[in-house]
Amino acid sequence: MIFEQEFEKLLKRVEKPARYTGGEVNEVQKDVGKCSLRFGFAFPDMYEIGMSYMGLQMLYDILNKREGVFCERVFAPGPDMECLMRDKGVPLFTLETKTPVSELDMLGFTLQYELSYTNIINMLSLAGIPFFSKDRKDGMPIVVGGGPCAFNPEPVADLFDLFLVGDGEEAITRLCSLYEGWKASGDSKDAFLKMAGKLEGVYVPSFYEPVYKENGEIEEMKKLSEFAGDKVKKCVLWDINSCGFPENNIVPLIETVHNRAVVEAFRGCTRGCRFCQAGMIYRPVRERPTESLLKTAEKQLKATGHEELSLLSLSTSDHSEFVSLATRLMAVCKKNNVSLSLPSMRLDSFSFKVLEEIGGYKKSGLTFAPEAGTQRLRDVINKNITDQSIFDSISQAAELGWNAIKLYFMVGLPTETYEDLDGIAETVKKVAEVFRQKRMKITVSISNFVPKAHTPFQWEAQDSYEEFVTKHNYLKEKLKIKGVAFSYHDSSMSVLEAAFARGDRRMAAVLVKAWEKGCKFDAWSEHFDYGLWKEAFAEAGADIGFYASRKRSYEEKLPWDTIDSRVSKEFLIRENEKAKLAETTGDCRQGCEKCGINT
């Protein structure tokens, strides 16, 4: 426990002090003397971001339901707080009991996005824990990583003792049991890692060592331990209904990004968009039935008092009982004076019909993601919507009284030409025409394609920074349309994201260099400094282009080949080849496309 009086003095000097106090409704407190495993759930960003992440609430719930396990939360302090903590020698602490993180048994970082990696280093530094696994002695917390970025853990492999790949619900429980037994035995950390490595979905990076070719590619992943398997298969919670869903979510005391009740409608997605990592790594689709969703929603609303309820999934209207689900959720919401939010809807006439029928749905902003400007390119990425369906739905939205629309496109997709960029402008123009009489607000948001591991585009080159800038400028001119606001994502951030998304172990050196130069909160435009990153790459002797804008051959050994997403490489190659021919692949519900998840 850090000194309370000293802590209060810090609180009086920082912005949003309640980021650091804990004490929220539904926070869990336990008698630490009776806990054999003290777990820190670390979110490598600020409180407001981390508390909006449902995975935190899920694992917090599972861990704290276990007797003898106490899971507490740890976030990255804001720069003002960090400065004071370093000045006063206050180490990184948990929110629940203000315990220094270095005193915990296990520290689990969730890896949600690549640009949070410097925050991991910074948090370890604030905690006084050595960055590299090899430098951490027995008795120091076991540092665990999980989340989507654990599907290519290599850039941060040296920082972690182990990774949990895939669904965490059962995996974390197994890991806890193992830990408790091991702790009682008093054996070494090495012994623990050897046992942990045998668990499904556990990747122990220190069991492997990459060997590089002269050209920088990976020659092989040399096994350093007899406990190293050829592949680490991701964990799958096959029966999603076997595991409960949190009902007593922590209710933040301050405004967060999302402060609402959330129920997960289903995990996975059947659409098969070729750029989408979530669509590949969360397979197969596992649905929660309407009855159980309703029950959870009611209980969560009761326990939290939230004023908004939202459904979580990758494509909400794809739930097999969507009509009855939406209708009945709306009834629950009306009864409780709560507003309903249905994000990630596929905007077709079916969805609109449902939204219209359930009544009382707030028609604020509508988000459409055609992703590409021409039918050809949409076929390449397997985003199976047609021009016609886009305009039909938009006309319908206008008819039904929606007052603002957001259009999402991506630039730099494989095979893209300027014709496709013209297509974006054409699409926006037509939408603007539909909306002109209605005086609606149209926002066009352009993001940059980032090739991700375990997707059909994992071998593809990303556009260079210069290419992105040229394309943005081209679109900026073309999109000077009355009533249309245009924004685009920072190109240097996208390039860095790509480098980490497909990076190998040598990226750790870059990461540490960048941190030493002061990089942190890289996902925040006000903190991001690409100049420092360029220096870091140069000093570490790494070439960002090698990772971001280099096309790989199918034969090349990829850094993440050890991780088995259960979607086969053959399927990814097949999909990439079809992409080149602009051939589409059907929705899995219409017939199995043999990706490997079910075999």
Partner 1 sequence: MRNKYVIELSKGGYMKYISHLDMVRLFKNAFKRAGIRLVYSQGFNPHPKLSLAQPLSLGYSSTCELLEFEIAEDLPPAEILDRMNPMMPKGIELFKCRRMAEGKSYASRAVAASYEVCIPIKAGDRCDAEGLCRDFLKQESIQAFKRQKKTEIKKETDIKGMIRELHGELLNDKIILYIKSDAGNRSNLSPELFISAFVSFSGINAAREDISVKRTGLFFSR
Binding interface with partner 1 (CB under 8 A): 9-13, 17-18, 21-25, 251, 253-255, 259, 301-307, 336-337
CB contact at 8 A, 412 and 371: no
Query: From residue 110, how far is each of 165, 315, 356 by CA, in Å?
Result: 11, 23, 38
Would you tell me the crossing angle of helices 530-540 and 491-501 to the nearest 10 degrees? 40
Query: Least Å distance between CB 509 and partner 1?
Result: 40
Tokens, residue 582: 């602009």
247, 290, 350, 593 from 590: Cα distances, Å: 34, 22, 17, 9
Whose Cβ is closer to partner 1: residue 6's or residue 219's?
6
Rank residues 338 and 499 by Cβ distance to partner 1 and give the closer one.
Answer: 338
Question: β-strand 563-564 against 232-233: which pairing, if any?
Answer: parallel
Between CA 502 and CA 558 the distance in angstroms is 8
Six token digits for residue 142: 């076991």
Which of 17/79 has CB closer to partner 1?
17
- The nearest distance, CB 29 to partner 1, in angstroms, is 9
| Torsions phi, psi for 263 (to 5 deg) | -120, 140
What is the nearest approach in angstroms of partner 1 to the Cβ of residue 405?
A: 20
Residue number with CB closer to partner 1 (308 or 392) = 308
Nearer to partner 1, 61 or 158 (CB): 61
- Three-state DSSP state, 505: coil
Query: Cβ neighbours of residue 408 under 8 Å, at least 6 residues apart?
Result: 367, 368, 369, 370, 371, 445, 447
Instruction: Please tell me whether residue 485 adopts helix, strand or coil conformation.
Output: strand
Shortest gap between Cβ of 246 and partner 1 (angstroms)? 15
Distance CA 273, CA 578 (A): 12
Our CB check for partner 1 shows the closer of 304 and 562 to be 304
Q: Where are the alpha helices (DSSP H) in 186-282?
A: 189-196, 277-281
Taking the least distance from each CB to partner 1, the nearer of 253 and 323 is: 253
Output 23 or 68, the one with its CB closest to partner 1. 23
DSSP per-residue string spanning 467-483: HHHHHHHHHHHHT--TT
What is the nearest approach in angstroms of partner 1 to the Cβ of residue 257? Answer: 15
The length of the chain, given as a count of residues? 599
Residue 13 CB coordination number (10 Å): 11
Q: What is the DSSP letter of 141?
A: P
Residue among 23 and 244 whose Cβ is closer to partner 1: 23
Smallest separation (angstroms) from partner 1 to the CB of 103: 21
**In angstroms, what is the minimal distance from the CB of 9 to partner 1?**
4
Measured from the CB of residue 6, what is the shortest distance to partner 1 in angstroms?
Answer: 10
Q: Please tell me the distance from the alpha carbon of residue 376 to that of residue 380, in angstroms, as a whole number.
A: 6
With H, G, I as helix, E, B as strand and everything else as coil, classify residue 183: helix
**Nearest approach, Cβ of residue 107 and partner 1 (Å):** 24
